[in-house]
Amino acid sequence: MVIWLIGLSGSGKTTLGTEIARQLQARHPNTVLLDGDTMRQIFAFDQGNNPYTVEGRRINAERITALCEMLDRQGIHVVCCILSIFADMRLNNRTRFSRYFEIFMDAPMQALRQRDVKGLYAAADAGKTTNVVGVHIPFERPTGADLVIDSSNDSADIPALAERALMLAGLWKSS
């Protein structure tokens, strides 16, 4: 199964995804966490000509999706945290993987700008960086997510949200 967490930078994808993976690994050791930022660093996807353009982002997304597919075919559960700005790829995920559960971390831009843990939005606003999704590159809100989580504030009970996601994904029943 592939659990796909999507949303803009700072929406909480990695925070929730890490907890989902932790809980899932406790019952299913054949679980791996893939994070878009980490994948870029490991495979140097952030180097070269314009890796953060729409074209560069598609190449990165296709590589991550292919890795998810390879792991899924081997019976490994994947928790993937990625911006996922391509609606066509999200739609294709529903048939590409053995099982697919999509979680949209929904937060308004104002909340993301206030949180801005990476300084990404401040740099974009100051003109120091370009190709920022949600600022320079449009982010089309997903319409078919299996679970939408309002991540506009920092007071969420992450372990409870992770358990709820895993129950809705059909990986276990409440205890």
- Catalytically active residues are 84
DSSP 3-state of 112: helix
Residue 144 CB neighbour total at 10 angstroms: 10
Amino acid at 53: T
**Nearest-CA neighbor of 101 among 70, 85, 71, 79?**
79
Encoded tokens for 23: 């809980």
DSSP state of 3: E
Element (H, E) at 64: helix 54-73
Encoded tokens for 95: 């048939």
102 contacts: CB under 8 Å, gap ≥ 6: 4, 6, 90, 93, 142, 144, 145, 146, 147
Q: Is 18 exposed, middle or buried (0-12, 13-18, 19+ CB in 10 A)?
A: middle
